[in-house]
Amino acid sequence: MKSSEIYYSVGALLYSPANNAKIAEEIASERFGRKYSIALCLEDTIKDDRVEEAEKILAASFRELDNMRTYRHFYIPKIFIRVRRPEQIRKMFTALENSADLLTGFILPKVTPQNLEAYLKYFAQVKRKANKDLYIMPIIENEEIIDPQTRISILSEMKKKLDTISENVLNIRVGGNDLCNAFGFRRHNTETIYDIRPIADILSDIVTVFGRDYVISGPVWEYYNGKGWDSGMKNELMKDIQAGFIGKTVIHPKQIELVNKSLYVSKADYDDAVSIANWDAENLVSGSSDKSRMNEYKTHYRWAKQILFLASYYGIK
């Protein structure tokens, strides 16, 4: 289990194409609020023949944002670069120059046991040069984990490699739409990804392998307008938490508030978590603060620590 608030603080991760030349001003004007993270994507959102152009725009956006913060006060989110290939980690870190101080880390798409070694090699190079902590967030979305006969061994092999730098793995992320695409699935706004059993089974295995040691973020919800988009997202967010996911990739600013609200901690959970984390009674089992359920120190301590991290960052309902 991660033992620092930062691993629980990514929350709503807003995706933006790296070639969005307006992104620095949008961040500085606090268009997206004051509690979100952002991913500047060089992968799926960029055409193959426009990658170099997008890299230059991304670097310029960092420099612009770095300059703006010298004379304007605004919320600076955790900023990640989603690369499309391992060597871009070193290339983009170098291109950012002094503005690299704004960078939180890199998102690694479509990780496999094979390409993970290259990702980690280039990350190690920039980590040595950085004057701050840097993180990675690998995305598990490759079709090779679909086969149930080999899935657990592939996931376990990836975890073994990530465990070598576990303190720098901020979140594990999952590519729900990529996994759905392998089958030709697409959920409607009245359905959740957990209603698609083959995908739900894959997600369950990811949590089983990684969930004890890492924070795992929920898959993107692709609806942001029209009747029922928000109630559908609230339903999936509730099931995300029940399934062991914290936070969510978002593709529209309207989704940010829903993710943040889903991470608020109930007063009853908070009171129980405080009691469990600070247990000083002789007996290690006791009724909850409202006398509605049983608290047991040895079986609820990890839950309590997680609740306290979430309450500290997101707040209490």
Residues 53 and 104 both lie in one domain? yes
**For residue 161, pLDDT beyond 70:** yes
| The pLDDT of residue 3 | 84
Task: Please compute the mean of the pLDDT values over residues 275-300 and round it to a whole number.
Answer: 85
| The pLDDT of residue 289 | 78
Counted domains in the chain: 2
Share of the chain above pLDDT 70, in %: 99
Integer Cα distance of 258 and 12 in angstroms: 9
Residues 234 and 270 both lie in one domain? no
Task: Please compute the mean of the pLDDT values over residues 94-119 and round it to a whole number.
Answer: 97
Residues 192 and 216 both lie in one domain? yes
Partnered with residue 14 across adjacent β-strands are: 38, 250
Q: How confident is the model at residue 235 (pLDDT cuts 50, 70, 90)?
A: very high
Residue type, 3: S
CATH code for position 223: 3.20.20.60
Residues 301 and 198 both lie in one domain? no
Single out the residue in 263, 278, 295 at which a domain terminates.
263
Single out the residue in 238, 263, 288 at which a domain terminates.
263
Task: Please compute the mean of the pLDDT values over residues 165-175 and round it to a whole number.
Answer: 97
Residues 62 and 132 both lie in one domain? yes
**For residue 170, pLDDT beyond 90:** yes
Residues 282 and 190 both lie in one domain? no
Residues 32 and 180 both lie in one domain? yes
Is the distance from CB of 248 to CB of 219 less than 8 angstroms?
yes
Cβ-defined contacts of 20-23 (< 8 Å, 24+): 20/57, 20/61, 21/57, 21/60, 21/61, 23/61
Residues 130 and 268 both lie in one domain? no
What is the number of alpha carbons within 13 Å of residue 193 lying toward its C-beta? Answer: 32
Residues 122 and 11 both lie in one domain? yes
Q: How confident is the model at residue 204 (pLDDT cuts 50, 70, 90)?
A: very high
Q: What is the CA radius of gyration of the chain?
A: 20
Residues 289 and 173 both lie in one domain? no
Note the pLDDT tens digit of each residue in 105-116: 999 999 999 999
Domain that holds residue 279: 264-317
**For residue 281, pLDDT beyond 70:** no
| The pLDDT of residue 279 | 87
| The pLDDT of residue 74 | 97
**For residue 11, pLDDT beyond 70:** yes
**Residue 2 — φ and ψ, nearest 5°?**
-70, 140
| The pLDDT of residue 17 | 97
| The pLDDT of residue 257 | 97
Is the distance from CB of 44 to CB of 18 less than 8 angstroms?
no
Is the distance from CB of 251 to CB of 259 less than 8 angstroms?
no
Please report, in angstroms and rounded to a whole number, the separation of the first and last CA atoms in the chain.
Answer: 24
Is the distance from CB of 217 to CB of 240 less than 8 angstroms?
no
Residues 190 and 312 both lie in one domain? no
Integer Cα distance of 89 and 139 in angstroms: 15
Share of the chain above pLDDT 90, in %: 91
Note the pLDDT tens digit of each residue in 14-33: 999 999 999 999 999 999 99
Note the pLDDT tens digit of each residue in 43-94: 989 999 999 999 999 999 999 999 999 999 999 999 999 999 999 999 999 9
Single out the residue in 263, 282, 307 at which a domain terminates.
263
Residues 253 and 271 both lie in one domain? no
